[in-house]
Amino acid sequence: MENKKYYAVMLIDDNEIDNLINKRMIEAAEICEKIYTHTGARSAIEFLNNMEKISEDISLEVLPNIIFLDIDMPLMDGFQFLDQFDSLSDKIKSHCKIMMLTSSINPKDVNRAKKYAFVKDYLNKPLSKEALQKLNK
């Protein structure tokens, strides 16, 4: 993993344009080897559930180190994802750090996100170079 701090980053956002922009920002920052994108929280949680079922050595190799999560999505929103994520193994919860990446500036959303121990930060869209540099420290 030459000079890259993380193996993988996951983007979860129903807006494909936002995913594309954020993916390009992450690529430009060169912080990881792999970028997983999901346009729905349900497919992302299924991916993590499947990783939990695979042997421990393999899953840690492919698990994302950071998950950028939007709040406002159809079918399963960001908070429903967090509730599902909370039921995953401690191994996954300690390996995957979640960063809320949303357009919501609602203080209720910010406070609600802070209640989850595995949510490390609350960022406003779009993902910025400064936010990514802060991750590398």
Tell whether 116 is covered by a domain: yes
Domain containing 35: what range? 6-135
Picking from 130, 129, 134, 137, the residue whose alpha carbon sits closest to that of residue 21 is 129
Tell whether 55 is covered by a domain: yes
Grouping H, G, I as helix, E, B as strand and the rest as coil, residue 36 is: strand
pTM of the model: 0.92
What pLDDT, on the 0 to 100 scale, is given for residue 58? 61
Please state the domain count of the chain: 1
Tell whether 1 is covered by a domain: no
What pLDDT, on the 0 to 100 scale, is given for residue 56? 62
Q: Are 47 and 76 in contact (CB under 8 A)?
A: no
The mean of the pLDDT values for the chain is 91
